[in-house]
Amino acid sequence: MNIFVLNCGSSSAKFAVIDADNGREHVSGIAQRLGSAEASLDWKVDGTKHTRALPGAGHDAGLRAAVDVLDELGLTGGLAGVGHRVVHGGSRFLGSVIITPAVVRQVEDCIPLGPLHNPPNLIGIAIAQELFPALQQVAVFDTAFHQTMPARAYTYPVPHSWLEDDEVRRYGFHGTSHRFVAAEAVRLLELDPHDHALVTAHLGNGSSATAVLNGRSVDTTMGLTPLEGLMMGTRSGSVDPAIIGHIARVRGMDPLAVLDALNKQSGLLGVSGLSNDLRTLEEAAEDGHERARLAIDILVYTLAKSIAGLVVPLGRLDALVFTGGIGENSSLVRGRVIEQLGFLGLTLDADANARCIRGVGGRVTRSTRPQAVVVNTNEELLIARDTAALVAPTLS
């Protein structure tokens, strides 16, 4: 069953047509730099890349151009539904849903919680409804997987009225990825689907780790926003919130500008002063760049601390799962984190760890419990599967 998968961001829209039954990706692409003179559509079919300039195109023109490509490939006629990545579902959505006017209103209600992401997600939904009026549309939320967290994990120790009146609590993100790789790890390692304890580490430019007990998220590192938790490419992760008031005062800055710097000028970029890209930092550290080394040291140390912390709600650890650009490719970060966590019983298989790069996954430890495993994430496939499962009963 072919599904059109759409992930609409503020200046880009990623799309794919995926057969939800066998995972085959017929086409994937991105309309990017939307709203600028350099806007373009880039797509890939059977490993061959194509590009088309779309000067001045906004979301509407970008998505129409993507649908033209689908037409040229003969894919539009066979579509069974459209699956949308929606970032923030607040406490309203516990799973994926067919999009109705009421769902759109609820996603709009979540805009204060996801002010950067939900508006472009809603634009994508509106355009896709116009382009494919006969198809059911499904929303798959980044936050939904974490709605199983207990109150003690999601409640901040702040005035309770902030939760009651303003929905200030921990939501967590990357839920689609955590859910996908957790299920894959259970399958790969032949764990009991009803009795397993995992920590999934999605490590990319944005990073989060989740404690997964028997298929359910019981705690995660990201919070009200994706700023909390692990050190990331440009985000600080968790820091003393008093830093905001302090820097605002001593530098005469607007607190919102300080917050912006914690999101965009911190993390690997902030510490190294060089780049948010781990590859660049690994090379620089190799060449003796002290702050690149420090950035990697902090990344590894704080990641290991967070993973160990996530074993608390699990009570034991069967497997540590690495995914995301860093998790799938950096044998350095994986190897050092596993060594740091040796006290949990993890023992590194250095050869297997070195082999897991660019799409190669598998076990990277010699220990049988706990194990560590690299799983390539595929959020688009999970969106396609959820969409297919929801639209199938409506198709007959």
120 makes contact with ligand AMP (CB under 6 A): no
Pair of tokens at residue 172: 């967590």
- Scanning 7-15, 61-69, 242-250, 277-285 for contacts with ligand AMP by CB under 6 A, the matching segment is 277-285
326 makes contact with ligand AMP (CB under 6 A): yes
371 makes contact with ligand AMP (CB under 6 A): no
| Paired sense of beta strands 319-323 and 197-203, if any | parallel
278 makes contact with ligand AMP (CB under 6 A): yes
- Scanning 59-67, 166-174, 185-193, 318-326 for contacts with ligand AMP by CB under 6 A, the matching segment is 318-326
Evaluate whether 110 touches 118 at the Cβ level (below 8 Å). Answer: yes
Q: How many residues bind ligand AMP (CB under 6 A)?
A: 13
Residue 320: its H or E element: strand 319-323
204 makes contact with ligand AMP (CB under 6 A): yes
Contact track, ligand AMP, 151-190, x by CB under 6 A: ----------------------------------------
Pair of tokens at residue 354: 């070195």
251 makes contact with ligand AMP (CB under 6 A): no
Evaluate whether 225 touches 172 at the Cβ level (below 8 Å). Answer: no
277 makes contact with ligand AMP (CB under 6 A): yes
9 makes contact with ligand AMP (CB under 6 A): no
Evaluate whether 144 touches 390 at the Cβ level (below 8 Å). Answer: no
Query: Letter for the amino acid at 388?
Result: A
330 makes contact with ligand AMP (CB under 6 A): yes
Q: How far is the CB of 331 from ligand AMP (least distance, A)?
A: 8
- Scanning 3-11, 46-54, 246-254, 325-333 for contacts with ligand AMP by CB under 6 A, the matching segment is 325-333
- DSSP string across 243-301: HHHHHHHHHT--HHHHHHHHHHS-HHHHHHSS-S-HHHHHHHHHTT-HHHHHHHHHHHH
- DSSP string across 75-104: -GGGEEEEEEEES--TTT-SS-EE--HHHH
Query: Letter for the amino acid at 165?
Result: D
- Per CB under 6 A, the list member of 223, 237, 270, 324 interacting with ligand AMP is 324
283 makes contact with ligand AMP (CB under 6 A): no
Point out which residues bind ligand AMP (CB under 6 A).
204-205, 233, 277-279, 282, 324-326, 329-330, 357
